[in-house]
Amino acid sequence: MAFLRGFGKYLPERVVTNAEMAAHLEVEADWIREMSGIEERRFAGDGESVAAMGAAAGLDALTRSGVGVGELGLILVSSGTAERRFPGPAAEIQHRLGAAQAIAMDVPMASAGALFALAQAERWAGRAGKVLVVASERMSDVAMTAPMEKGTAMLFGDGAGACVVDRDGGRARIVDFELGTDGSNASELRLEFGAPLHMNGRSVIMHASRKVPAAINAVLSRAGLAAADLRTILMHQANANLIAKIAQTLGVEAGKFYSNIARYGNTSSASMLIAARDWDEGFAPGDKVMFAAFGAGYQWGAMLVEGS
């Protein structure tokens, strides 16, 4: 058994509006908003590395959870945009936080990485006690690398999210999760070393539109719940239109999904935990909240938590 204690985030100060992005990409600003629901995003500066942003988000989560750095047994870090092959950002985040007693492991996954890291945290919490899950991305580095595909580049922003998972108690219990991987589509969404980001948007939308609702429904079915029973759904902020499509498939209003994509764009694996931090109204006992994500791999899943 494991519990969520609190969320954290870090967003770079630099705001990149659709007007600025549109001028750079030679498209209309309104087109960006219509295609994605995004109005602005943040771009990291020189000192805002994946590890620096991740450590800041992690510290925010620890502070909001009332957990000291010295209490951590494990740090899990998801990122698809780590600056080097190895070591990944987890070790550097451990050092930046001063959590020398904690082991640190990378989850080198974009988009769905935070969800998979949360699932790992649930399994590790019994041994590690308190686990800090961090998701940090510098998507601007890859999305703005020439040659840019306009419909891809306009989506992304930078930032980090975090969550403290605790074996001994917290504000919401992890009830169940469903994860999936389909490696036959690994080439459809990929980032090669030294190459621009490649995304077959049609394929991504086609698979996400079916796989995410299926994962959510599988978890709901095992819990004897319906989508309408959920207080909210905190999903990877990929694209507002995709979220609306998934809501339609589930038979719920799009408003059931919390969304902050208009302000931050798609921050890949960081987005789900940034959304959780922004949504964080407090879990009332019995509140059911679903996390969900889809991304490169393809990898996807859903996780049900219940207010304690």
Partner 1 sequence: MLNKINEIVAKVAGKPVNIATDESLFDSGLLDSFALTDLVTALEAEFKITVPDSDLNPRKFDTLDKIASYVENLQ
User: Closest separation between CB of residue 204 and partner 1, Å?
Assistant: 8
203 or 260: whose CB is closer to partner 1? 203
User: Closest separation between CB of residue 268 and partner 1, Å?
Assistant: 19
Q: Say if CB 139 and CB 111 are below 8 A apart.
A: no
User: Closest separation between CB of residue 158 and partner 1, Å?
Assistant: 25
d(CA 38, CA 29): 10
User: Closest separation between CB of residue 131 and partner 1, Å?
Assistant: 32
DSSP per position, 191-254: --TTS--EE-HHHHHHHHHHHHHHHHHHHHHHHT--GGG-SEEEE--S-HHHHHHHHHHHTS-G
Contacts from 190-195 at CB under 8 Å and sequence distance 24+?
Answer: 190/296, 191/80, 191/81, 191/110, 191/142, 191/296
User: Closest separation between CB of residue 284 and partner 1, Å?
Assistant: 34
206 or 228: whose CB is closer to partner 1? 206
- Characterize the bridge pairing of strands 40-42 and 15-17: antiparallel
User: Closest separation between CB of residue 235 and partner 1, Å?
Assistant: 16
Residue 47: name the closest of 90, 96, 107 by CA: 96
d(CA 50, CA 88): 10
Q: Count of CB atoms within 10 A of residue 30's CB?
A: 10
User: Closest separation between CB of residue 150 and partner 1, Å?
Assistant: 15
117 or 293: whose CB is closer to partner 1? 293
217 or 249: whose CB is closer to partner 1? 249
162 or 212: whose CB is closer to partner 1? 212
200 or 232: whose CB is closer to partner 1? 200
103 or 244: whose CB is closer to partner 1? 244
Q: Count of CB atoms within 10 A of residue 285's CB?
A: 9
* Binding positions for partner 1, rule: CB under 8 A: 182, 184, 200-203, 205-207, 209-211, 241-242, 245, 249
What torsion do the CA atoms of 26, 31, 33, 34 make, to the nearest 10 degrees? -160
